[in-house]
A = this chain, B = another copy of it.
Amino acid sequence: MSLKHIGEQTVRLDTHPSIAAASCVVGKKEGEGPLKGYFDFISEDSYFGENTWEKAESTMLKQCFSIACDKAKLPPSNIQYLFAGDLLNQCTGTTFGLKDSGVPYFGLFGACSTMAEGLSLAAMMIDGGFAETTAAMTCSHFCSAERQFRFPLEYGGQRSPTAQWTVTGAGTVILNTSGKGPCITHVTTGKIVDKGIVDPMNMGAAMAPSALDTIQAHFQDTGRDYDYYDIVITGDLGKTGHAILRDLFLSESVDFGHKLMDCGLLIFSLEGQDVYSGGSGCGCSAAVLSGHLLAGMTDGRWPKILFCGTGALMSPTSAMQGDSIPGICHAVALEMF
């Protein structure tokens, strides 16, 4: 086994690829939530100036990428690789958002784990000596997701209490070799975990076992104590999935206490915003990471974060054919030096 591989699922990145800039763009509802101060742009218009929600999603991602380049003071041509994807069929949110970027592009599909997946690969490209600057990004839009995965919005379908609210949001992280700012020190890549959950209105339950699997692998591979990180934050398990994950860890005699958090629980006010179990969608963890979490790292609140993107790898077709909902979780260790 190579030296960078320090366990079955984890690699250590000794060059510490660092975050040069990050940006997040969200919709109106997200902009009314508790994290409103951390977003770079809040659109009052859910169409983002376009005439379909799918085009709105692409435009949001494009705008987000542009803001990130601006903050990093880099033209897109200085970025060697983009890693991105989204929830839309054939990932067209990303394709149309990035098609004019002129940057070599690796398309990903990791469902709501896409930001963590992209961040993993973008960091490994730098640590492996393939690039000096890379970017990871993703997006989701409530309206395009709702009609693709559930019902036409006009139908006003009932939601179950375990259902989550797809975040209208995009996040971009630009990495480089400079070593300043939050750095990526370890990447733990997830395996697909399937515990047989079949309720597409309860994605949290489907994803929680994969989060347990990857987070346990991370601590086992690195040999770090369970209290090493200031926070261990999952992508978007929501209220139901978060409680399940907490229980799963307690059954293994691990109690993260208040350190175990979830992006889906942070982005909305569960009491005031009628979002049932919390936020979801690729844009959820991407926007929370790019704004709130990185701000918390640089201002000293959380110098060490284990960011654990979680994804439910299902489609409406697989659900209608009675298939289970396999989950995946990719963990990225972010540390200040």
A residues within 8 Å of B by Cβ?
Answer: 1-5, 8-9, 11, 52, 54-55, 80-81, 85, 87-92, 95-96, 98-111, 117, 120-121, 124-125, 127-132, 148, 189-192, 194, 313-318, 321, 323, 326, 328
Contact = CB atoms under 8 A, between A and B. Distances in A.
B132 A109 contact: no
Given A108-B109, A117-B106, A314-B92, A132 B85 contact: no
18 contacts: A4-B129, A4-B130, A5-B80, A81-B189, A87-B90, A90-B314, A92-B314, A92-B317, A92-B323, A95-B313, A95-B326, A96-B323, A99-B326, A106-B121, A121-B121, A124-B125, A124-B130, A128-B128
Contact of A89 (B120, B130, B131, B316): B316
Nearest to A318: B92
Contact of A315 (B8, B90, B128): B90
A73 to B, nearest CB: 18
A95 to B, nearest CB: 4
This chain's copy number in the assembly: 2
Given A107-B108, A326-B95, A89 B315 contact: yes
Contacts of A8: 104
B92 A89 contact: no
A125 B128 CA distance: 8
Contacts of A313: 90-92, 95, 99, 107
Pick from A5, A9, A194 the residue with the most CB of B within 10 Å.
A5
B5 A130 contact: yes
A146 to B, nearest CB: 14
Please list the 6 inter-chain residue pairs (A to B) with the smallest Cβ-Cβ separation, ordered nearest first.
A128-B128, A104-B189, A90-B315, A95-B313, A109-B109, A99-B192
Given A54-B318, A105-B189, A125-B128, 5 more contacts: A54-B317, A92-B317, A104-B189, A107-B117, A127-B128
A89 B189 contact: no
A75 B11 CA distance: 21
A103 B192 CA distance: 8
A188 to B, nearest CB: 8
Contacts of A328: 105, 107
Contacts of A101: 191-192
A108 to B, nearest CB: 6
Given A95-B326, A106-B117, A192-B101, A131 B2 contact: yes
A54 B127 CA distance: 38
B128 A130 contact: yes
Contacts of A108: 106-109
